[in-house]
Amino acid sequence: MRAHIDLDLDPGERSALKNLTAEEREAVIDELLAQAREDLEWVVARAAAEEPAPRPRVSTPPPLPPLGTRVNARRPAPPIRRAPPRSWINR
């Protein structure tokens, strides 16, 4: 599979590339590959920096039972006893 790369050259640059020797052509290709590699490294680094960090998995605690109930109880909870009202007589 061959990749297609559009160099976006003007006619003067195209004619200059046609007149290069094999060694000069190799040097141009090496330079273009180095530039493309640098550009891709920046794109990857930018994408990695923009990606949000994965949030740690934190499990939520189970919901609390209603007040006055026991969890895993064999018998029902006793009724809540309230202190008798204080009066001036009981002092």
Give per-residue pLDDT as tens, 34-85: 988 998 898 888 888 877 767 777 778 778 777 766 655 566 667 778 777 7
pLDDT of residue 2: 65
Rounded distance between C-alpha atoms, residue 38 and residue 44, angstroms: 10
The angle subtended at Cα 84 by Cα 77 and Cα 90, nearest 5°, is 155
Q: What is the pTM of this model?
A: 0.44
**Residue 7 in contact with residue 17, Cβ under 8 Å?**
no
pLDDT of residue 74: 66
Q: How many CB atoms lie within 10 A of CB 2?
A: 4
Task: Answer whether residue 89 is part of any domain.
Answer: no
Task: Answer whether residue 2 is part of any domain.
Answer: no
Task: Answer whether residue 22 is part of any domain.
Answer: yes
Q: How many CB atoms lie within 10 A of CB 20?
A: 12
Task: Answer whether residue 61 is part of any domain.
Answer: no
Across the range 18-28, mean pLDDT stands at 90
The angle subtended at Cα 35 by Cα 34 and Cα 40, nearest 5°, is 100
φ and ψ at residue 52, rounded to 5 degrees: -65, 145
Q: Is the pLDDT at 29 greater than 80, yes or no?
A: yes
Give me the domain span that covers residue 19.
11-50
